[in-house]
Amino acid sequence: MTTKTLLMASTMLSLGLATAATAQDDVPAGAEDDVLKIGLIYTLSGPAAALGEQARNGFMLAAEQIGEIGGMETEIVVIDDEQRPDKAADDARELVQREEVDFVVGPIFSNILVAIHQPVVETGTILISTNAGTSNFAGADCHPNFFVTSYQNDQNHEVMGAYAEQQGYQNVFLMAPNYQAGKDSLAGFKHSYTGGVAGEVFTELGQLDFSSELAQVAAFQPDALFTFMPGGMGVNLVKQYDQAGLSSVPFLSAFTVDETTLPATQDAAVGLLGGANWAPDLENEANAAFVEAYIEQYDAVPATYAMQAYDAAQLIDSAVRKVGGDLTDRDALRAALKEADFDSPRGDFSFGNNNFPIQDFYLTEAVKREDGRFATSAREVIFDDYVDTYADQCEMGAS
């Protein structure tokens, strides 16, 4: 397996590059090569770098364990999108047209997914999102060349809405960044929560000072706060929430208290609840092996980002082996991907009609492990074999 890292500036690419399908019957230019080429697009710099690093590490761990993915000589190209949609779109064209990759894997953020989706899937190349899962791509804009190993954006937030409903909360303060995933998060929460809303605030993406918003929470004294603040945003929010003495207001979140933020928030986050499709302490053989190997390799507890990317590598391996390395038969390759014939650390995993996962979702709690590391722990199953609510808008076929 060969790995090369490209740190590409958007100025390196010509905007005049063609984006039409490159070969007959939507077969990418590199599909007939003997080398399997995979491009990873993740945010690997800036405040959210920890998220992309977890995803990259999870994919590379699986790749190293497999050796030759799909039984083929494998080359992996890693790109830092710098959390810039314009750069990411150019990077995607670079991967498809010059690097002639067979698969593009990533990204972390939904606005990046929106930017790279068309440049990848319309050329016949398979795009596998290991994190972002916007509602339009799960529904009306679903595409046979687009697969997701994470979730539909709303779902983890729906977990917390259902939990708030269970607890009888009637006055919840909602807060998320002002971009598509932030909007999906609050829509997801309200999909399973019927109580009142004390306040609803959209912050700037990348905001690190939440004093104004927390002052509103203190003034409203809601039954609970629900928030989605990934990466560095989540670190600062949890610390400032703790410093503001708001422990009387239950803190509910998704992608805010996890293995990417807990090394920084530590005790300030212990006991805070979240919604997730996985936790490091799920009891199954595949998960135990994955978590142990990740900690040994990277000296850190894996987050969901790592697990979902790990599964993407396993998914590609299983599908390419099923077609005997023949990547020119796109229908056969897509059918092989759809079978999802691998053991996921999350347990049960299958694809719905929209190529989004059908899986379980959990209430999680931040804990301090026996080894002194901080992690999330699964407390109860909230949704079993859950199909996202947009699948019936996808016309690719019945699930």
Q: DSSP strand E in the chain: where?
A: 2-6, 35-42, 73-80, 103-105, 126-129, 146-148, 171-177, 196-203, 224-227, 251-253, 273-276, 350-351, 357-368, 374-386
Predicted pLDDT of residue 32? 66
Question: What DSSP state is assigned to residue 64?
Answer: H
Q: Average per-residue pLDDT in the chain? A: 92
Judge residue 267's burial from the number of C-beta atoms within 10 Å of its C-beta, 0-12 exposed, 13-18 middle, 19 or more buried: exposed
Q: Which amino acid is at 17?
A: L
Predicted pLDDT of residue 181? 87
Predicted pLDDT of residue 28? 76
Task: For residue range 139-178, list pLDDT tens digits in order.
Answer: 999 999 999 999 999 999 999 999 999 999 999 999 999 9
Confidence of residue 180 (pLDDT cuts 50, 70, 90): confident
Common-topology check for domains 36-151+281-328+335-355 and 154-276: yes
Predicted pLDDT of residue 6? 57
Which CATH number does 36-151+281-328+335-355 carry? 3.40.50.2300
Spans of all domains in the chain: 36-151+281-328+335-355, 154-276
Q: Is the pLDDT of residue 369 over 80?
A: yes
Helix (H) or strand (E) holding 185: helix 180-191
Judge residue 263's burial from the number of C-beta atoms within 10 Å of its C-beta, 0-12 exposed, 13-18 middle, 19 or more buried: middle
For the entire predicted model, the pTM comes to 0.90
Say which range, 30-44, 116-130, 233-247, has the weakest mean pLDDT.
30-44
Burial 362-383, CB ≥16 within 10 A → b, else e: bbbbbbeeeeebbbbbbeeebb
**Once rounded to an integer, what is the mean pLDDT over residues 8-21?**
31
Rounded Cα distance between 399 and 397, Å, is 7
Predicted pLDDT of residue 172? 98
Predicted pLDDT of residue 4? 64
**Once rounded to an integer, what is the mean pLDDT over residues 207-232?**
96
Task: For residue range 267-318, list pLDDT tens digits in order.
Answer: 999 999 999 999 999 999 999 999 999 999 999 999 999 999 999 999 999 9
Rounded Cα distance between 92 and 120, Å, is 6
Predicted pLDDT of residue 371? 95
Contact criterion met (CB below 8 Å) for 155 and 361: yes
Of residues 60 and 17, the one with the higher pLDDT is 60
Q: Residue 320: name the closest of 23, 82, 38, 8 by CA.
A: 38
Predicted pLDDT of residue 140? 97
Q: Is 351 helix (H, G, I), strand (E, B) or coil?
A: strand
Predicted pLDDT of residue 360? 98
Confidence of residue 90 (pLDDT cuts 50, 70, 90): very high
**What's 154-276's CATH class?**
alpha beta
Q: Is the pLDDT of residue 353 over 90?
A: yes
Other C-beta atoms within 10 Å of 222: how many?
22
Predicted pLDDT of residue 16? 29
Q: Is 189 helix (H, G, I), strand (E, B) or coil?
A: helix
Cβ contacts of 286 within 8 Å, gap of 6 or more? 343, 344, 345, 347
Of residues 29 and 208, the one with the higher pLDDT is 208
Predicted pLDDT of residue 184? 87
Predicted pLDDT of residue 34? 87
Judge residue 297's burial from the number of C-beta atoms within 10 Å of its C-beta, 0-12 exposed, 13-18 middle, 19 or more buried: middle
